[in-house]
Chain A
Amino acid sequence: MSRIGVYVCHCGLNIAGVVDVEKVAEYAKGLPDVVVSRHYTYMCSEPGQRMIQDDIKVQNLDRIVIATCSPRMHEETFRRTVEEAGLNPFLTEIVNLREHVSWAHTHEPEKATEKAKALVRMGVARVRLLEPLERRKVSVEKNVLVVGGGIAGIQSSLDLANAGFKVYLVEKSPSIGGRMSQLDKTFPTLDCSACILTPKMVDVAKHRNITLLTNAEVTDVKGFVGNYEVSILKKPRYIDAKRCVGCELCTKVCPVKVPDRFNENLSEKCAISIYSAHAVPKIAIVNPDYCLRLKYKKGVCGKCQDACDAKAIDFDQQPETIQVKVGGIVLAVGSEVFNASRMEELGYGRFKNVISSIEFERISDASGPTSGKIVTPKDGKTPKTIVFIQCVGSRDKRFHEYCCRVGCMVTLKQAILAREKIHEKVNIYVCFIDLRAFGKGYDEFYRRARDMDIDFIAGIPSEVHGAPDGSLYFDVYDKGTNKLFEIHADLVVLGTGLVPNSDLGNISALFHASRSADGFLLEAHPKLRPLESAMGGVFLAGACQGPKDIPDTVAQASGAAAKAIDLLSSGEIELEPLKAVVDKDLCSGCRICDSICPFVAIEMKTEIVDGNERFRAEVIEAMCQGCGLCSSACPTGAIKIQQYTNRQVMTQVQAALAGAQVEGGK
């Protein structure tokens, strides 16, 4: 005989506004073994928790059912409550009356109340069969993997390394720096991007706690929170990193021209090159798709080898796989820029003088293809009229519904830069829908742009035309003046939004980090756990979690680092005791569980029983995440998941059916 306490939470009016909580609590009193049943405004509050604890002590309760919000929200809270009162924390059952009942059936209060009763009945049936469990403790690796070397990855790595953790920073490109290194100035202070970023890049390279792996990718992730085993593929640079001094002599002799990715293909570089002016590490790299020697083999070209005094060029370099053990992972893989050629009407890709905002950054940057002179890509002339068009690819149901969160400020910055840098008379227009300047110092920045005589047109053009003489023109209707303007522009800059990386799907699969509807990586909770993925020990930083500007990215990166430190600093972590256990006698050794376990937690062992060899499955406790795949696949029912045994689940199902009207004898 159990002694069960049932507690129905109002959650203010979140639950009580729809469900008749009094009726539910009254109903629970009549259920078998229920000794106490109460309802209260906020069960998670201090008085609410004390109510449960007092009842446990006074009424001698040994099982608790709490009908409240989702267990994802407060299961841990209530387990602690119960534990403090001296009861095993795993003898509690959470019934979700908020997400599953009141929020889902807002307009049907009576039916909702009936559903709430049924769920409480199921909870009571199940709680009687729960068994006390002990939490597992495992030791953790005090190393962290940071994926992505943009400003987010750099900030996370530095914070972690300064706190004494060993960091492996993996970057796909030949240099760290990411998107921020491509920018000219940063809003709202107009700091030079390179001036504030480069010192941090150098710090990363010099830090004794950071192992920097550029031109590398993570290829495999095994293990679980605190104990991940990661394989990193280091692609060949065809350069001996220890010998190369970054003198760039090789780039003077290389005969092959390649589009320069760092300059958004606005200029060319050589097949052997240094990634950018501020590259860290400043080591050359050979592009194997273009290099004559690597493409045609043997004896061809090799001019760079002759030019290199340091003898650093090594065409025989092979890819190398590195295995590292880490406790936590920070994903900081960033985002891409919307490909504006998908929005055909604006002419990007058809007209050379229609450019994206990231291309404008390269044109405006002193280390860019025009050495910082703002000129048109088509003819290299100073533009007399520049038009910025907002929300390209963002806030658009055809492409991406979300706001890109940086476009308005980027445009204001670029408009200001154009006004400051071009000394001749130039007309600058900004065509916008809503101008969002919401951050600290951002609206002041918007005012600064207005001060500088920049014309804001409240309206977006429908299409951009090319005149026979090569100039651009379009109509735009301004809703402030109710007038139609025909604008002839020399340069049209599209405010292209940020979009998820094209290989984010692979990354999400590799790290078991799920994605939200907008395609970015999904945080564990939009408000309360914005720095973590749902996968234990995998943290999120920067634009891979959603479009972000630099201040927000840096804040999130430091936060993610702090979260990783919080997880790993004690050297051990507690794991949920919900794991699979094998009944030796029932296991037939069929290996089905072994083949489907996503965490590689099943080991097949041979045993001698009564002189006969027997093959059977064993669960590696530390690896098992309690997902239950093995349990549902096992043909003999030999594997069960603690807290979710067949008997516990079936009893719950029976309780659900007990109250239902079963018609037709089925």
Chain B
Amino acid sequence: MSMAKPNLESREKILAKLSGRELVNCFQCIKCTSGCTALKLLELKPHEIIKLVNLGLVDELPSSDIIWTCVTCLKCVQRCPQKASPYHVIMALRNLAVEKEAKIPEAYLKAVSQILETGLIETPQKIVTRKMETLDRDCLKLPKIKPPKESFQAVFMKAMEEK
């Protein structure tokens, strides 16, 4: 087994991204992991991420796939007895991953370009009724979706960089 190599500088970087330092209060009650929506299928263990950050074992986290498995159900935020909020730690790690230009799952990149192009986080979907009819916006006489104003893209990119 290889030795753990804490990196306290990287740890400070993550702490700086969080408004509070509550994650250091985590006493590993495991409530977050017991109830984690992404645990059963995607093996996300929020308590492990918090512990790794607290001990400074953070170098591999931003480039790992596991931080992208969180489905942001926020159960861990609501139920954490120490307000350590694993969700916010995972979000900080994601931001760090973007900064470090680590590999980001395609779906997220697609979502960003989608927003830039249409101003929407989802593409308009077709729906199927109980009578098995397929409907789209035209059938429902909904107005056409207009692309966002030109200034939107600039504002959006600026906001992304600031985060």
User: Which residues of A approach B to under 8 Å, CB–CB?
Assistant: 345, 391, 395-398, 433-434, 458-463, 474-479, 484
Asked if residues B35 and A462 are in contact (CB atoms below 8 Å), the reply is yes
**A460 with B39: in contact, given A345-B79, A391-B81, A397-B83 (CB under 8 Å)?**
no
Q: Are B81 and A479 in contact, CB atoms less than 8 angstroms apart? A: no
- Other A-B pairs, 8, CB within 8 Å; known A433-B29, A474-B34: A398-B83, A458-B30, A459-B30, A459-B33, A461-B35, A462-B32, A462-B75, A479-B30
A474: chain B residues within 8 A (beta carbon): 34
Say whether B114 faces chain A, with CB atoms less than 8 Å apart.
no
Is the C-beta of B45 less than 8 angstroms from some C-beta in chain A? Answer: yes
Shortest CB-to-CB span from A153 to chain B, Å, is: 33
**Cα(A345)–Cα(B81), bound, Å:** 12
Q: Are A477 and B33 in contact (CB under 8 A)?
A: yes
Within 8 A of A (CB), among B115-132: none
B83→A475 contact, CB < 8 A: no
A479-B28, A479-B47, A484-B39 known; A462-B81 Cβ under 8 A: no
Cβ–Cβ < 8 Å partners of B45 in chain A = 477
Q: Does B31 contact A (CB under 8 A)?
A: yes
Q: Given contacts A433-B27, A434-B27, are A395 and B81 in contact (CB under 8 A)?
A: yes
A315 CA to B103 CA, complexed, in Å: 82
Q: Contact mask B45-65 → A, CB, 8 Å, 1/0? A: 101000000000000000000
- Residues of A with C-beta under 8 A to B35: 345, 461-463, 475
Residues of B close to A459: CB separation below 8 A: 29-31, 33-34
Provide the residues of chain B in CB contact with A398, threshold 8 Å. 81, 83
Chain B residue numbers with a CB within 8 Å of A463 are 35, 75, 79
A460 touches B82 (CB 8 A): no
Judging by beta carbons under 8 Å apart, are B34 and A460 in contact? yes
- Closest chain-A Cβ to B70's Cβ sits at a distance in Å of 15
Q: Which residue of A lies closest to B40 (CB)?
A: A484
- A462 vs B39: C-alpha distance in the bound complex, in angstroms? 12
Give the number of A-B contacts (CB < 8 Å). 61
Which residues of the other chain, B, contact A476 by a CB distance below 8 angstroms?
30, 34
Q: Which residues of the other chain, A, contact B39 by a CB distance below 8 angstroms?
A: 475, 477, 484
- Given known contacts A345-B79, A396-B81, A477-B45, A461 and B34 CB-to-CB distance under 8 angstroms: yes
With both beta carbons as reference points, the residue of chain A lying nearest to B84 in the complex is identified as A397
Task: Give chain B residues whose Cβ lies under 8 Å from the Cβ of A460.
Answer: 29-31, 34
Top 7 nearest A-B pairs (CB, nearest first) are A462-B35, A459-B30, A396-B81, A433-B29, A477-B33, A462-B34, A477-B34
Q: Please, which residues of chain A bring their CB within 8 A of the CB of B33?
A: 459, 477
Minimum CB–CB distance for A200 against chain B, Å? 37
Can you give 14 contacting A-B residue pairs, CB < 8 Å?
Answer: A345-B79, A458-B30, A459-B30, A459-B31, A460-B31, A460-B34, A462-B75, A462-B79, A475-B35, A475-B39, A476-B30, A478-B30, A479-B28, A479-B47
Q: What residues on B are CB-neighbors of A461 within 8 Å? A: 31, 34-35
List residues 72-122 of chain B with CB under 8 A from any CB of chain A: 75-76, 79, 81-83
- For B32, list chain A residues within 8 Å (CB): 462
CA distance A266 to B29 in the complex (A): 31
Q: How far is the CB of A403 from chain B (nearest CB, A)?
A: 11
> Residue on A with the closest CB to B78?
A345
Chain A residues closer than 8 Å to B27, beta-carbon distance: 395, 433-434
Whether the Cβ atoms of B29 and A391 lie closer than 8 Å is yes
Cβ-closest chain B residue relative to A457: B30
Hey, which chain A residues are within 8 Å of B36, CB to CB?
462
| B27 to chain A: closest residue by CB | A433
Q: Given A398-B81, A477-B45, are A433 and B28 neighbors across the interface (CB < 8 Å)?
A: yes
In the complex, the chain B residue whose C-beta lies closest to that of A399 is B81
Nearest residue, chain B, Cβ from A484 = B39
**Cα(A434)–Cα(B39), bound, Å:** 23
Decide: B31 and A462 in contact? CB cutoff 8 A.
Answer: yes
CB under 8 Å from chain A, chain B span 11-38? 27-36
- The CA-CA distance from A474 to B35 in the complex, in Å, is 9
Interface centre among A398, A433, A434, A460 (most CB of B within 10 A): A460
**Which chain A positions have C-beta within 8 A of B83?**
397-398
Instruction: Give bound CA distance, A461 to B34, whole Å.
Output: 5
CB distance from A399 to the nearest CB of B (A): 8
Complex Cα–Cα for A43 and B34 (A) = 56
Enumerate chain B residues within 8 angstroms of A462, measured Cβ to Cβ.
31-32, 34-36, 75-76, 79
- The interface residues of chain B lying within 8 Å CB-to-CB of A395 are 27, 81
Question: A459 to B28, alpha carbons, bound, how many Å?
Answer: 8
Q: How far is the CA of A479 from the CA of B31 in the complex (A)?
A: 11
Kindly state the separation between the CA atoms of A459 and B44 in the bound complex, as whole angstroms: 16
Partner of A397, one of B30, B75, B76, B81: B81
Residue of A nearest to B28 (CB): A479
- Which residue of the partner chain B has the closest CB to A343? B79
Bound state CA distance, A479 and B29, in angstroms? 9
Closest-by-CB residue of B relative to A486 is: B40
Whole-angstrom distance between the Cβ of A22 and the nearest chain B Cβ: 38
Q: Please, how many angstroms separate the alpha-carbon atoms of A643 and B45 in the complex?
A: 64
| C-alpha spacing A474/B28, complex, angstroms | 19
Residue of B nearest to A474 (CB): B34
Nearest-CB distance from A313 to chain B (Å)? 51
- Taking CB as reference atom, which chain B residue is nearest A395? B81
Closest to A398 in B: B81
